[in-house]
């Protein structure tokens, strides 16, 4: 029996990627602007229980009101702020911590490496969200503790990537040359390893923003995240769960907000990955070279 395997070679012109990147950066920028100035642009106090309850969307309340008589649009904007800022903090923490541990493990090797990698194995062996729920419950819930719980389970991925990058870079000629030239470990790490391993780590972090936002909202949905009266998209959806059939706007509004934010960050992450992919750069540069030769 014989067979052939065909691989479709996808070529993405760099200019397209750049345009996509700019577009998604613009969207992410707008989202960040809305998030940063949420309290200034929301039409009412998000915690004021002053309107009639469960009003459907109208001109005065474009996203309706909730069962406490609070304006949903104001709460969605402030909830988005809570969700996005907590997620960015979380991703920053796990990226920095994971990278530091991974680089040190890769560079130092030996007992430190063996020990930290077994810790990673333990963390990766548990189902992520279940482990996070256990930690969040131990810490008695709250948004800050939910961020800590997710950070505890999420850093190993970054440590693994940083470690493998470090090991690969350690065996390159230029690192060997730097070592021969008498560079210290710190110099090697900061001058050669970190700059060259930043790409994959950055792409992973960008792609993780959406996932982490969902997981954080998931913990809040389960009552292990933000506590009242803090507006957070996950706990807003949880609060409206029983009203899905009767007063759907209470749950649809925060749901759409999470969807939009996650989609923007995921597509941005994808585009950043494409942009930083060296194969795309090579193809692009070889295509440019051919064009110049033809001229």
Contact 128, 94 (CB under 8 A): no
What's the CA gap between 237 and 239, in Å, rounded? 5
Q: Which is nearer to another protein, 1 or 125 (CB)?
A: 1
CA distance 117 to 183: 27
- How many whole angstroms separate alpha carbon 212 and alpha carbon 259? 13
Site for another protein in 76-135 (CB under 8 A): none
Provide, rounded to whole angstroms, the least separation between the CB of residue 208 and another protein: 30
Q: Choose the binding region for another protein from 88-96, 200-208, 244-252, 278-286 (rule: CB under 8 A).
A: 244-252
Query: Whose Cβ is closer to another protein: residue 199's or residue 223's?
Result: 223
Residue 213 CA, distance from chain mean position: 7
Written as six digits, the tokens of 97 are: 């911590």
What is the C-alpha separation between 93 and 243, in angstroms, rounded? 36
Nearest CB to another protein, comparing residues 87 and 238? 238
Among 227, 270, 275, 276, the residue binding another protein under the rule CB under 8 A is 227
Task: Say how many C-beta atoms besides its own lie within 10 A of residue 51's C-beta.
Answer: 18
6, 9, 111, 140: residue in contact with another protein (rule CB under 8 A): 140
Candidate residues 67, 179, 191, 283; the one interacting with another protein per rule CB under 8 A: 67
Contact pick of 30, 41, 48, 119 for another protein (by CB under 8 A): 48
**Least CB distance to another protein at residue 243 (A):** 5
Residues numbered 181-220 forming contacts with another protein, rule: CB under 8 A: none
Q: How many residues make contact with another protein (CB under 8 A)?
A: 22
Q: Does 241 bind another protein (CB under 8 A)?
A: yes
Tell me: does residue 49 bind another protein (CB under 8 A): yes
Per the CB < 8 A criterion, the answer to whether 237 and 66 are in contact is no
248 binds another protein (CB under 8 A): no
Give Dmax over CA atoms of the chain in angstroms.
75
The DSSP line for 230-288 is: S--HHHHHHHHGGGTTTSTHHHHHHHHHHHHHHHHHHHHHHHHHHHH-HHHHHHHHHHH
Q: Which stretch binds another protein (CB under 8 A): 22-30, 34-42, 65-73, 204-212?
A: 65-73
CA distance 156 to 79: 29
223 binds another protein (CB under 8 A): yes
243 is a site residue for another protein (CB under 8 A) = yes
Q: Which is nearer to another protein, 175 or 226 (CB)?
A: 226
Q: Which residues pair with 65 in a beta bridge?
A: 71
Measure the N-to-C terminal CA separation of the chain; round to a whole number of Å: 47
DSSP secondary structure code for residue 65 in this structure: B
Residue span binding another protein (CB under 8 A) among the ranges 76-84, 175-183, 200-208, 243-251: 243-251
What is the C-alpha separation between 66 and 83, in angstroms, rounded? 19
Of 34-42, 45-53, 197-205, 272-280, the segment contacting another protein by CB under 8 A is 45-53
Q: Does 246 bind another protein (CB under 8 A)?
A: yes
Q: Does 144 bind another protein (CB under 8 A)?
A: no
Rule CB under 8 A: which residues touch another protein?
1, 47-49, 53-54, 67-69, 140-141, 223, 227-229, 241-247
């Amino acid at each position: 029996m014989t067979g052939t395997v065909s691989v479709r070679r996808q070529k993405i012109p760099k200019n397209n990627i750049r345009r996509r990147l700019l577009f998604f950066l613009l969207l992410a920028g707008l989202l960040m602007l809305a998030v940063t100035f949420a309290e200034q642009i929301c039409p009412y106090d998000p915690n004021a229980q002053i309107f009639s309850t469960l009003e459907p969307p109208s001109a005065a309340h474009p996203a309706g009101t909730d069962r406490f008589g609070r304006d949903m649009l104001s709460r969605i904007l402030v909830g988005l702020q809570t969700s996005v800022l907590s997620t960015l903090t979380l991703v920053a923490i796990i990226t920095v911590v994971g990278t530091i541990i991974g680089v040190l493990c890769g560079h130092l090797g030996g007992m430190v490496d063996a020990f930290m990698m077994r810790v990673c194995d333990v963390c990766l062996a548990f189902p992520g969200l279940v482990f996070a729920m256990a930690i969040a419950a131990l810490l008695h819930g709250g948004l800050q503790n939910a961020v800590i719980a997710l950070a505890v389970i999420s850093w190993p991925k970054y440590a693994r990537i940083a470690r493998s990058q470090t090991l690969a870079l350690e065996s390159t000629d230029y690192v060997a040359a730097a070592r021969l030239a008498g560079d210290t470990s710190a110099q090697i790490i900061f001058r050669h390893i970190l700059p060259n391993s930043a790409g994959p780590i950055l792409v992973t972090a960008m792609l993780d923003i959406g996932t982490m936002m969902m997981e954080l909202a998931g913990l809040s949905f389960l009552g292990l995240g933000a506590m009242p009266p803090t507006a957070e998209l996950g706990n807003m959806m949880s609060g409206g769960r029983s009203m899905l059939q009767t007063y759907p706007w209470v749950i649809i509004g925060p749901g759409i907000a999470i969807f939009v934010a996650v989609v923007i960050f995921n597509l941005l992450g994808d585009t950043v990955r494409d942009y930083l992919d060296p194969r795309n750069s090579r193809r692009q540069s070889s295509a440019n070279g051919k064009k110049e030769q033809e001229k």
